[in-house]
Amino acid sequence: MVDIVDALRSLRPGAGYVVRGNELEWLDTNQTRPTDAEINTEVTRLQAEYDANKYQRDRVYPSIQDQLDMQYWDKVNGTTTWQDAIAKVKADTPKPGE
């Protein structure tokens, strides 16, 4: 979940501030404090970006090293371990719209 701190880091990288609950105390003398509207807009933008990437985060394949090892042993043993592992990832996290 994206919050005010994420928005502030995006809007004013390196700025000094303290957030207590929903209260923002601006400490930075070099950067101007973003308006509440700017902060809310950035929270919304960052949350939409996060949500749009859910598919990529959820679709976790075995490491390349593990996949190559599976393929080697499948070839040696005549098994389908690698194909089964990839099919499971695809089944567990289908592409949006499928």
Which tens digits make up the pLDDT trace of 42-79?
999 999 999 888 877 777 889 999 999 999 999 999 99
Residue 25 forms beta bridges with which residues?
18
Query: In this structure, what token pair is assigned to residue 4?
Result: 């005010």
44 sits in the region (left: phi over 0; alpha: psi -120 to 50; else beta) called alpha
Amino acid at 29: T
* Contact by Cβ (8 Å): 39, 7: yes
Contacts (Cβ under 8 Å, ≥6 apart) of 60: 89
SS3 call for 35: coil
- What pTM, to 2 d.p., does this model score? 0.61
pLDDT at 1: 87
